[in-house]
Structure 1
Amino acid sequence: MRRVEHIMGFPVSLRIDDEDVPDHAVDAAFAWLREVDERFSPFKPGSEVSRYARGELEPHELSEELVEVLDLCEHYRLATGGAFDVRLPGRGLDPCAVVKGWSVQRAAQLLRAAGARRFCLNAGGDVVTSGGPWRVGVRHPEHADKLCTVLELTDSAVATSARYERGDHIIDGRTGRPATELLSMTVVAATLTEADSVATAAFAMGAEGIEWAASLTGCEVFAVDAGGLVLRTGGFPSLTEPASVP
């Protein structure tokens, strides 16, 4: 089974190799992602996030899911010394950096609960896998038609934060300025919740974020700094040698 939908501003593609996964299970996974977009988008005035940011909801009135997301945001704010912050001055509350990986991981859990055992769920280039092995390419940060490396994943996830899609959109909360010390930061972890959050948080930290991410238990890192130097942890599951980055 294969399906692609445009949700949360990016394509979400699913491939399932199991033959007995019912269509309604796939429908439920994509419906969940659409629900997340409606409830947690800071760009939709009626979303729970927007209402909370405007002061229309008190903390005790928030859904359990949003409380969980905000707790994750606070965890990474503290862990990075404020470099990762979803409450930047002049920008309001924007938890998207956590919501994406968290919600896609939950969609994967819905699929597993329905009996799916071998699948690959790709949300705008961030990927969660079940079964395997699956081969996933890491995009070259300066050439859209090239890959830095190809990795092999089994029951794990990978996420990349970079400047090539949206420019200098990741802000270092400590300075209020765009984070520009890295070209890309790729993290492999057991869940996409962790991989996506750590990749963004580490990118916001700049060069020091490489060592920070690499120190986290269960995280493997592939980073390209602003000078084109490739740095990776020994356990990063590459199938190929990384291409040079001029």
Structure 2
Amino acid sequence: MASSTPRRAFVEQVMGMPVSIHVRAQSDAGLEDPQVATAVEQVFGVLRRVDSVFSTWREDSDLMRLRRGDLDPAEAHPWLAEVERLCAEAERRTDGLFSASFDRAATGAAYDPTGLVKGWAVEQAAMHLRHVPGVSWCVNAGGDLLAGAGHATSPSTWLVGVQDPREAGEVAATIPLRSGGLATSGTAARGAHIVDPRTGRVIARDGSATVWGPSLLWADVWATALFVDPLAGERALEAAEPAYRSLLL
């Protein structure tokens, strides 16, 4: 679509980060369609519900209640079991470079699925946008993006700038994204927070790994894996997921 295509953005702070939904349509009337506003509110509603289940900052989340033993697993939200299965699959696909279960050097054994939850949650929530005809959309969740289009609509191209991890405010590369997900892992935005599951130690080096392809969930998983071990991660990605591309900085 041309740059003059009508566009609207919706922003909400949810899951501890800013989430923005950008919508394009052929006309202003298309953006004002009540289906657009309804779908956007449904997206944010799903993300708020995900936060209530998986947040590690909310004492009343299902995840934290399970950790404390205050919630019977049989009574927990079924999303927890689904995400646990996906985490196991992610560990298998990445040859152990991504894991939700590892021995932390300081705190001992731990289970933390939140490294997978964001991509998974955005994909679940964005299903509501896929039902709106005549629009193209892009969801930006803390710098990770999922793009697509509504029913019977050709997706437009979103130009995604990848930040230079060593020069604040500088764009190192621009990647066109029409449909699918793009995720970046590194230390520039949040500092040293990524753990190498093989050692349980936080990775303190600079740099970043960006991965894009059909699914935001798997792009996010692979971006983490490539940042943990760029060489082994690239080999595993090429062998397991040829539809994805990567950029290491």
C-alpha separation between the residues in 2 aligned to 1:219 and 1:197?
Answer: 12
- Write the mapping of 1:199-214 to structure 2, written as runs, cut at 5 A: 199-214=223-238
C-alpha separation between the residues in 1 aligned to 2:134 and 2:86?
Answer: 27
8 Å CA contact 1:6–1:12 kept in 2: the answer is yes
- Write the mapping of 1:60-139 to structure 2, written as runs, cut at 5 A: 60-88=74-102, 89=104, 90=107, 92-115=110-133, 117-130=135-148, 131-139=155-163
8 Å CA contact 2:222–2:233 kept in 1: the answer is no
C-alpha separation between the residues in 2 aligned to 1:110 and 1:184?
Answer: 31
C-alpha separation between the residues in 1 aligned to 2:160 and 2:90?
Answer: 26
8 Å CA contact 2:24–2:136 kept in 1: the answer is yes
Deviations 1:82-101 (A, max 9, x none): 33222333274321111101
Instruction: Please name the residue that 2:212 is paired with.
Output: 188
- Structure-1-length-normalised TM-score: 0.83
Equivalent of 1:163 in 172, 179, 187? 187
**Aligned-residue CA RMSD (Å):** 2.0
Instruction: Please name the residue that 2:4 is paired with.
Output: none
8 Å CA contact 1:182–1:206 kept in 2: the answer is no
> C-alpha displacement at 1:157, in angstroms?
1.3
Instruction: Please name the residue that 2:202 is paired with.
Output: 178
Deviations 1:186-214 (A, max 9, x none): 00011211111221133223432122223
Greater shift, 62-71 or 73-82, is seen at: 73-82
> C-alpha displacement at 1:175, in angstroms?
0.9
SS in 1 for 2:166: coil
Instruction: Please name the residue that 2:5 is paired with.
Output: none
Deviations 1:92-151 (A, max 9, x none): 432111110111111211111244640111111111111111111111011121111001
- Alignment-mate amino acid for residue 231 of structure 2: A
Deviations 1:34-86 (A, max 9, x none): 11112111221111111222233344433222211111111122333433222
When residues 81 and 58 of structure 1 are mapped into structure 2, their CA distance, relative to the original with a 3 A threshold, is farther
Q: What is the number of equivalent residue pairs in this alignment?
A: 224
Structure 2 residue runs without a partner (length 5+) = 1-7, 149-154
Identity across the alignment (%): 35
- Structure-2-length-normalised TM-score: 0.82
- Alignment-mate amino acid for residue 131 of structure 2: A
